[in-house]
Amino acid sequence: MHHPENLTNEMDANMAKDPTRDEMMAHLLMLHPEIGDDPFDAWEACYAFAIDHHGGQTSNLYEALCMSPFQPGPLWRCCAPGSMAEYYYKSLQLEFA
């Protein structure tokens, strides 16, 4: 039998962290300083990560979606396979998911 406090701890352990867009970019810049010269791919990765992991309108990741400089077109689905954006997305996955 699960006790309510144990269930909450188990749920928290399975949920992604809720970083701000600045925290995501700081993490990526720490690992990949070259991003500072051209952050477009990093913004795309942050946007994709936020779509996949936000916890609703009150979450930091939802705010990151709303405030993102990356504004995808109607046919955008996710970071292109083999792209720098996909590489950065995987870095975010390892740190925050």
Q: Is residue 96 part of a domain?
A: no
Q: Is residue 58 part of a domain?
A: yes
Q: Is residue 52 part of a domain?
A: yes
Q: What percent of the chain has pLDDT over 90?
A: 75
Q: Is residue 6 part of a domain?
A: no
Going 6 to 11 to 13 to 18, the CA torsion angle's sign is: negative
Going 89 to 91 to 95 to 97, the CA torsion angle's sign is: positive
Entry pTM: 0.82
Q: Is residue 11 part of a domain?
A: no
| Predicted pLDDT at 36 | 85
Give the number of domains in the chain.
Answer: 1
The stretch 56-84 carries a mean pLDDT of 94
| Residue-number span of the structural domain to which 37 is assigned | 16-91
The stretch 29-56 carries a mean pLDDT of 94
Q: Is residue 36 part of a domain?
A: yes
The stretch 51-72 carries a mean pLDDT of 94
